[in-house]
Every structure is written in C-alpha cells, then in structure tokens.
Amino acid sequence: MTAIPTTPGSRGLLAPRLVWGLALSLAAALWLWGQTLAPFAFDYPKAWQIPAARWIGGFITWLVKEAAIGPLAFSDVTRFLAWLIDLPYRAVLSLLATGMLSGEGSSAVQLWPPLPWLAVIGLFALIGLFAGGLPLALTVSACMGFVAVFGQWQSAMVTLASIIVAVPIGVLGGLLLGILAWRVPLVDRLLKPLLDLMQTMPVFAYLVPILILFGFGPTAAIVATLIYAMPPMTRITTLALQRVPSEIHDLGRMVGCTPRQMTWRVLVPAAREPLMVGVNQVIMLSLNMVIIASMIGAGGLGFDVLNALRRLDFGAGIEAGFAIVALAIALDRLSQALARRARGALPQGGALQRHPYLAAALALVAVTWVLGLILPAIQTYPEAARLSTSPFWAAAVEWINLTFFDTLEAIKNAILIGILVPVKRFMLSLPWVAVVALLGLAGWRLGGWRLAALTAALSFLIAATGQWEKAMITVYLCGVSTLIAMAIGLPIGIAVANRDRAWTITRLVIDTLQTLPSFVYLMPVVMLFRVGDFTAMIAVVAYAVVAAIRYTALGLQGVDPRLIEAGRAMGCTDWQILTRIRLRLALPEILLGLNQTIMFALSMLVITALVGTRDLGQDVYIALTKANPGNGLVAGLAIACIAIIADRLIHAAAETQRARLGLSGHAP
Amino acid sequence: MTETEAKLVCRNVWKVFGARAADTFASLGQDPSPDRLLAAGLVPAVRAVDLAVRDGEIFVIMGLSGSGKSTLVRCLSRLVEPTAGEILFNGRNLLAASEAEMIDIRRHKMGMVFQHFALLPHLTVLENVAFPLDVQSIPRARREARAREMIALVGLAGRENSYPRQLSGGQQQRVGIARSLAVEPELWFLDEPFSALDPLIRRELQDEFIRLQSALRKTIVFITHDFDEAIRLADRIAIMKDGVIEQIGTPEELVLHPATDYVREFTRAVPKSKAVRVASLMVADPPPPDAPAVPDRATVAEAGRAFLAGAEVLAVTDRQGRRIGSLRREDVIRLVLGGAG
C-alpha cells in the first residue's frame, strides 16, 4: 500500500514499508532477546492486574442482594420480569406440550390435553399455504412430520414454546428501541456500542449473570434469548427507518400526520420489507439461542442434544440434531415467505370469506381436538409408528470409527503436530507489549489515531485483566480456523460466482447451513474426532466457511462487467482476468467476508468450549458451570474485545481499499 | 399586482444549511454574499427569494438540479424550516404559526404531488387516496366516497383495490394526484410530478393536468427542470439558479425579454413560436373580412397552422370574439426563423 488518501499529515513522509519493517524488527528483537531483559513484557505482572472479575462478581452479588430503589429491591424487579415472561410461557407450553395441568410435579393431573400433533402440523401447513402456496405448505408439513415420526415431538414443542414467547417480545422490543434510537440521536449514539458489545459477546458470558438473576429454568433461557436476538432487530429498525425515502416523510407531514401517526401509519409500514427481514433474524437467532440456553434450563431439543453429548450417545444426539434442523428450516422458510408475501386484491364478503385461513385454522383445531379425545393417535403421535434411527446412527459412527480409525487419527495428528501446536506455541511466546504495539500501529495505518487508540486500549485491557494467555489461544484457534475456512471458501466462491446453476445450488446449501443452530455442528465432529483443539477447529471451519463462500461470490459478481470485457479485449487470459481484475476489484467485499468469517469463528469457538478447548471460551463455560459471573463476564468481554479489534481493523482496511478503487459510492 | 390578490407571498426568504444555521446567519447581517456564508460554514440553498403566487394561477418554479427549487417549495409549506423571511398564505405569516396550526393548515389547505409518487406500499389505491382524510379521522364511508370520486376524476376507476406496485408509473402518479386533491386544497404543490415518467406518458399527464386545472382552478406551485414543460403549463415562471430567482415572468416575457444572461442561455434553444402569444406579434391593422380567426391568447405556434390553408393574414380575436388586429404571415416567418423578437 503506497498511498492512503484519507489519512492526514506527516505519514506521507514515512515510507510505510520502512515503518512496518522497523516495527516488526523491534518486535522480533524483543521476542528473541527480551525474555531476560524485560520479563514483564511477556507475562503481565500480577501486581498490576485489574481485578475486573472480582469487581463484576461483587457488583452482581450487590445487585442481587442489596440493590434497591427505595423499597423496591432489584431482585423484586427481576422476579416481576420473570413472572411476566413466565405467564405467557406457561400458557403456550400447556397449549403445545403439556396440556392444562392441575397440581405440581409428577403428581400433576392433566385436565385438558395439549394441541394434537395433527393440529400443529395442520397449522404450520395453513400458514405455509397462506404465505407461500402449496409447495411451502408441503415443505413445512414434511419438516414437522419428520419431527413427529422420529419421536422428537414433545421436545420440539417445548423449544417451539420458548420461541413463540421470545419472538414477539424480541420483535416489539427491538422495534421500539430502534424507533427511539432513530428519533433521538443521543440514544442512537449510546446504544450503538452497547449493541456492538451484545452482538460480539459470547452467549455463555451472559448466561451466568442471567442464571443468578433469574434462576435456572425456561424464563432465564428466554431472557438470554431476548438479549441475543434483540440487537439485530434494533439495528435493522433504525436502518430501515433511515432509509425510508424523504418523499414519504414529506408526504406524512404534508397530509398533517401527528408524530404518532407519522411513526405507525407512515414510516413503519413503509419500512415493512426490511423490518420483516429483521423478524426472520429474530426467529432464527431465538432458535439458535433457545438451543444453547438449554444449559440454563430451556429444556427441549437443545437439552436432548446436550444430554446426548454428555453421555456420548451419538444416535440420540443426531436424532435431536435433525429435529432442530427440521424445525429451523420450517421456521425460516415460513418467516421468509411471510416477509416476501405480496398482498393480492382484497377478498370481499362476510367474516368467513374475508378470513378463510383463520376460519380453517379454528375449524382444524376444534375438529382435531374433539377427535383427539376419542382417538389417541390423533392426539399424540402413536408410539408404535415412531421410527428411531438412533441405533443406525450409533452403528454408523461406530463403523466409521472402527474402519477409519487409523486414517482419521493420522489426519488429526498430522494437523495437530504440523500446524496447530507450532502456531499455538508461537502465539503463546509473543510478548504482549509487542502485540499491543503492533495492533496500535495497524490501527493507526488503517484508520488514524482513534482506531489506534481503540485497538491498543482493548488489547491492553485483555492483558491487564490477566487473560493474555487464554486470549492468545483463542486468537490462535480462531486464526487458524479462519485461514482454513478462507482457503476452502475462496476457491469455492470463485468457482461458483459466475456459474448460475452452481451458484443457485451453492446458495441454497449455504443458506440452509446458516439457519442451523451452531450447536448442531458439534455433533458429527465430536463423534469422529472426540474432544480437543482439532475437533473445535473442524467445527469452527465448518460453521465459518459459509461466510467466506458467500462474500467471495457476491464480491466477484459485483465486479463491473465492462471492466472484464475491457480486460478480454486487451487479450487477458482467464487467469489474468481473475487475478488482475476480478479479485482486485472484489477485494473490499472479500475483506468483509473475512470479517464475517472471523465473527462466525469466534461465536462458534465459544460453543466448542463444550468439547474441551483451553481458551477463553472454556473460561466462560467453566464460569457457567460454577455460576461465577465475574470470571465469565470478564472472559466474555475479552472475546468481545478480540472481535471488535478484528472487526474495526478489517472494516478500515476494506474502506481504504474501496476508496482507492473509487468504489466508496456503494458502501453496504 | 398588489399582494392582497396574491394567495401566497414570499418576502426575502432564505434557507441556509449548516451547524447552528439560524444564529450564524443572523450574525452575518442583511443579505450576506455566498462567499461570506461559505466562510461562516453555511451552505445557502435559497437566497433572498421574493415572489407572489396569484389566486388561481399556475406558477412554475424552474431550475436545474441544485438550483434550490425543491428546497424552496418545501419552505413554502414549512416542510423545510426557512432560515429567515416571511411566507404569507392568505395574508397570514406561516412562519409564525405553531406546529399544531401548521398541521391543521396542511391537512385542510394544502396538497402535494411528489416526483417519485410517495405512495404507501402497504395500502391499496383507495386507501392511499383516502389516507389524508384518514389521518383526520374522517369516518370510513365519507372518506372512501370522496376517494372514489377523486380516483374517477384522474381516470383510474376500477383500480381501487390494486396495490401501487401493480400499477405503471403513469398510473401511480395519477394516484398521487388524486390523493393530493382529496382534501380539496386551496394551494396545490407539484414537485417535478412528471419528471420520473417517460416522454409519452409525461405528455399524456401534462394534458390531463391541464384538463384538471381548467375544471378545478386551483392555485398551483409547479416545480420542474424542463423548460418546455414550464412554458407549456405556466401562467408565470420563476427561473432559479444557485438559490436565487433570476427572473419571474410569463413564458413570453422570458423568451422575448430575458433579464439575465442565464435566462437568455436557457430560452435561446426554445422555439419562440411556442412561447410568444398572438397578441404580442399582431399589428393593429384591421384584418381582411375573410381571414380565419385566431384567439389572441394562443401561441404563435398554435395559430400558425391556420396559414397552412393558404391565408396571408389571420384575424386576431379577443375573449369576447371581437376582431382586434391582424397576424401577418411574414411576421410569423420572421419570428420562427429567428429575426424578430
């Protein structure tokens, strides 16, 4: 990089290569000979440590035990919130899964049965028919039928109940916050860093404080789900409102709308399409989180998977995993179709004709419920007709493990010894002082003083809270996985970018992969490679490669075809066109893909703590099992710091590239 | 013209953009130059505009993009808050009105048509047209009756239950027009209403607009960047450049007596025969008795077709049909070929 147009002043005088050369040699010198001269540069001295974990732990204890506004204790507030969430949850749960119960625990008597399984499938099909016609209705019925046939119905309904309660709260909360942020710039400014943090903070980190504040159980799980799923809705709302054409604002004011009419009758409906994308996001993120939150008592399919993982009962785990996939696909397709649904002409006539779907749904529920009282097979899917593939999967895994044990073990060991271990050793031997300084330098080169201050400060905080070693393990695992994901994703992206059919198929696959809760990825790799860094790496790569493929393909497709034509006219070979024109111009987009890949990798990495890594994720997870909020949050914040550093640096790099190529017009 | 017969009057209206625009602007004194404004960190969009729109006339504000015409028309309804000046609507200063009063005035006295239609995508044609009445809480039956009337007026009867995206651009703008007329506004703003349409549809809607106005006789402020459209529709035109009104006049005045070089540049490419009216070109000689008659308000281009039949002289008639002079063939030829005027 020779010239950076947007950066001011004296930097032009220093040749950039010289600066980097100097900085890197200094860092190398420190690394090689500094160990004895300046040991503090390698191990952050304990005496200087910021006891952040203790502070946070103390704060939360205070919050639970003592905090109060007048007579109203903080714990009363949380209890009230819990009650508020619990109420609809119980209602939905009894409707879908348990039925109306009287009495407590195992002595409870069912007064009234839950919705028959046929009714639920029928309702899914009706919504499918309403939103996307017959093909969609068949798809979602097949998905839900799959869940019933393979005996996952009860768990799936528990999971579904959490989602049905969490999604409306998440959508409404996100919408209101987004509107507030859009109206009041100050709120927007305050909210932005908070949302950044909420989205980069690993989910386990806030499971602990939630566990302490709300206790173990589905309510706590729903609160965690809301924290996880609301930020995107808030962001999308603010963005969507900002993008409503100014003429629509003018129209609203010209016809004399009051501020309330303006918001609810003009702007929000005009932004309906992007808002529905937000709703889809909330649904999918809720599903993802409800699965993870099974650790703090969400129950349902997530609990089944978790339980199976713990027992190493792969057959049961895979079955529950497939049920999650089926549920995810059904929910995703439905909400996407609802978002896209074009309204036709309004039907005329009486209430029945105007609301045919509602009428059909009510009729269906009434009929199946009554029939269910007579025929038990309509009420609950008959046990005898259940298929269990569990033994089959268990046998298959065993067969693979027996037959290919040596091969798999050889691959695993080769990669471990050849790549993972050396990289890990190298990363751990780096002096933190040098890393902080180099990150600061990178921030300065790419985005000026502010970015330099941010990257240096955040990385210093990681060292100062005594988490350097764990953070380096996180960075090493994430880094290696990201590189491998990019190494796989880039060629695939290049290969499919300009082939319509291949791209259509690839997109279908990666779209589906992306809707899957991250938990699902753990199952197969654990079965084949057992626990450890290598397993974690494979799971992370599998999860993150989707982003690499998508952004590469989109970037290449976005290249101006006239430039390719010009290249061809100049007699470039295909290879030259790819390397000299298309990849160069797609670079900003590919950098954003790299960014997404890293974010995906980090979020997956935390989950892989379940399979025994030794990084920050493991700290968070251990804190969760010990209910130690301080440690968990501090480790979580450290991961968020890593994510924010990577995100800001790469965005700055992409921006610089974009400016150099004169593409700044179409910033995403 | 006295201001009493004017519906809408602007006196020394300014709009400047920038941080703390109003205070900074006030500190610069009367009529600051653009350079001083820029030096103070302010970007002028509208500068010292004076104009008066008469009751029942089509007043066109014409300018290229960036001339400030869209900002000016938004100042007139206070969608954009002017930095300084007075805007009198029916003799009352709008800038002194409270927000509630402005809502009331916009609800009942003003209508606006937008360049990109600004139809609400989630409402049907009927609901879109009824929307201004809906926000006033007018009962459904009454507002829908009124909306149906307006939809019929713009020739879209039968499409009431369609959604905007099911309509062509021209049809969408008809909906926009119907909606702006639903409240029976006294003052009708049209912000480049036909610019987003292709030429044939544009022409069709211009004709439609002329037909509507001949029946409705609204007071109209019409924004355009198209000079041909301006002379076709306008009673009077204001030409804007860099936030300043260069000249206000009838199409004929602009073409025959441009006040500045900019206006001259602009009007040079326009065929004079399309702007000049017969009354300006005629001579007072009594016409021969068999000469075909043309009205004095017609443009020369419209009148000129009568010469094709072979006449040397046309008889010019006033509104009452009296013969008041003659239009000679050679004068028309001189005008068209660029000699006269």
Cβ of A270 within 8 Å of Cβ of B122? The answer is yes
Q: How far is CA A75 from CA A211, A228, A631, B76, in A?
A: 13, 22, 22, 56
Enumerate the H helices of A416-431 as residue ranges.
Answer: 421-429
Least CB–CB distance from A255: residue in B122, B135, B189: B135
B17 interface with A at CB cutoff 8 Å: no
Mutation target to probe the B interface, by most B beta carbons within 10 A, among A243, A246, A248, A250 is: A250
**Is residue A250 less than 8 Å (CB to CB) from chain B?**
yes
| A178 Cα to chain B: minimum distance (Å) | 21
Segment among A7-16, A134-143, A630-639, B257-266 with least mean pLDDT: A7-16
What average pLDDT does chain A have?
81
Which of B80, B131, B187, B192 is most worth mutating to test chain A (most A CB atoms within 10 A of its CB)? B131
Residues of chain A contacting B120 with CB distance shorter than 8 Å: 248, 251, 266, 269-270
Closest Cα in chain B to A254: B106
Tokens (6 digits) for A538: 């494979």
Q: Which residue has the tokens 């239950």?
A: B161
If residue A111 lies in a helix (H) or strand (E), which one and from where to where?
strand A109-112
Judged against a pLDDT cut of 80, whether residue A298 lies above it is answered with: no
How much is the pLDDT for A11? 46
Q: Answer yes or no: do A250 and B135 touch at CB < 8 A.
A: no
Measured between beta carbons, the chain A residues lying within 8 angstroms of B77 are 254
With an 8 Å Cβ cutoff, are B118 and A251 in contact?
yes
Please report which confidence band the pLDDT of residue A24 belongs to, taking 50, 70 and 90 as the band edges. Answer: confident
pLDDT number for residue A343: 58
Chain B residue with Cα closest to A264: B135
How close, in Å, is residue B154 to chain A by CA atoms? Answer: 19
Confidence check: pLDDT of A133 > 70: yes
Position A168 confidence tier, pLDDT thresholds 50, 70, 90: very high
The winner for highest mean pLDDT among A304-313, A384-393, B156-165 is: B156-165
Chain B contact for A254 (CB, 8 A cutoff)? yes
Interface pTM (ipTM) of the complex?
0.84
pLDDT value, residue A614: 65
Those of residues 268-297 in A touching chain B at CB distance below 8 A are: 269-270, 272
Tell me whether B7 touches chain A (CB under 8 Å).
no
Q: Quote the pLDDT of residue B323.
A: 86
Residues 6 or more apart whose Cβ sits within 8 Å of residue A361: A122, A123, A126
Decide if pLDDT at A71 tops 80.
no
Residue A666, pLDDT above cutoff 50: no
User: Which burial class, exposed, middle or buried, applies to A506 when counting CB atoms under 10 A from its CB (0-12, 13-18, 19+)?
Assistant: buried
In chain B, what are the domains? 53-271 (3.40.50.300), 273-337 (3.90.1280.20)
Q: What pLDDT is stored for residue B341 in this prediction? A: 43
Per-residue pLDDT for A127 more than 80? yes
Distances (CA, A) of A315 to A145, A390, A530: 20, 4, 15
Structure-block tokens of residue A628? 């130690």
- How far is Cα A522 from Cα B151, in angstroms, rounded to an integer? 60
Regions of chain B short of the pLDDT cut 70: 1-4, 338-341
CA atoms within 13 A of residue B37's CA, in its CB half-sphere:
22
Q: How does pLDDT run across A235-246, given as a tens digit for each residue?
A: 899 989 988 999
The whole-number pLDDT of residue B237 equals: 93
Query: How many angstroms away from the CA of B184 is the closest CA of chain A?
Result: 12
Q: Which two tokens stand for residue A365?
A: 């529920």
Q: Does B161 contact A346 at a Cβ distance shorter than 8 Å?
A: yes
Per-residue pLDDT tens for A389-428? 777 877 887 888 788 888 888 888 888 888 888 888 888 7
- From the candidates B74, B77, B79, which should be mutated to test the interface with A, based on the most A CB atoms within 10 A? B79
Q: Look up residue A297 and give its two tokens.
A: 């008592």
What mean pLDDT do residues A107-126 have?
Answer: 80
Cβ of B250 under 8 Å from any chain A Cβ? Answer: no
Give the separation between CA A546 and CA A485, rounded to whole angstroms. Answer: 8
Subunit contact A254:B122, Cβ cutoff 8 A: no
Residues of chain B found within 8 Å of residue A256, distances taken between Cβ atoms: 103-104, 106-108, 132, 135-136
User: Do residue B111 and residue A254 have CB atoms under 8 angstroms apart?
Assistant: yes
pLDDT tens-place string over residues A550-594: 888 888 888 888 888 888 888 888 888 888 888 888 888 888 888
Query: Rounded distance, CA A326 to CA A316, Å?
Result: 15
User: Which chain A residues are within 8 Å of B108, Cβ to Cβ?
Assistant: 256
In order, the DSSP letters of A314-368 are HHHHHHHHHHHHHHHHHHHHHHHHHHHPPP-SPP-SSHHHH-HHHHHHHHHHHHH
Q: Taking CB atoms and an 8 Å limit, are A343 and B163 in contact across chains? A: yes
- Taking a contact as any Cβ pair under 8 Å apart, which residues of chain B between 137 and 156 contact chain A? none
At residue A114, does pLDDT exceed 90? no
Report the range out of A67-81, A472-486, A501-515 with the highest average pLDDT. Answer: A472-486
The tens digit of pLDDT for each residue in A592-610 reads 888 888 888 888 887 777 6
Residues in B closer than 8 angstroms to A245, CB to CB, are 116, 118
B chain contacts of residue A269, beta-carbon cutoff 8 Å: 120-123
Does residue A515 register a pLDDT over 50? yes
Residues of chain B contacting residue A349, judged by C-beta atoms under 8 Å apart: none
**How does residue A167 score in pLDDT terms, banded at 50, 70 and 90?**
very high
**Interface touch B161/A251, C-beta < 8 Å:** no
Among A110-114, A326-330, B89-93, B240-244, the range scoring the smallest mean pLDDT is A110-114
**Out of A228-232, A620-624, B16-20, B252-256, least confident range:** A620-624
Q: Which of residues 412-431 of A touch B (CB under 8 A)?
A: none
Look at B104 and A248 and tell me if their CB atoms are within 8 Å: no
Considering the domain A393-429+468-666, what is its CATH architecture? Orthogonal Bundle (1.10)
Nearest CA in chain B to A248: B118
- Given a contact cutoff of 8 angstroms between Cβ atoms, the answer to whether B6 and B89 are in contact is no
Tens-digit pLDDT profile for residues A456-482? 888 888 888 878 888 888 888 888 999
pLDDT at A2 over 50: no
Whether B106 contacts chain A with CB within 8 A: yes
Pick the residue with more confidence: A306 or A241?
A241
CB B9 within 8 A of CB B3: yes
The answer, for A18 touching chain B at a CB cutoff of 8 Å, is no
What's the confidence (pLDDT) of residue A8? 44
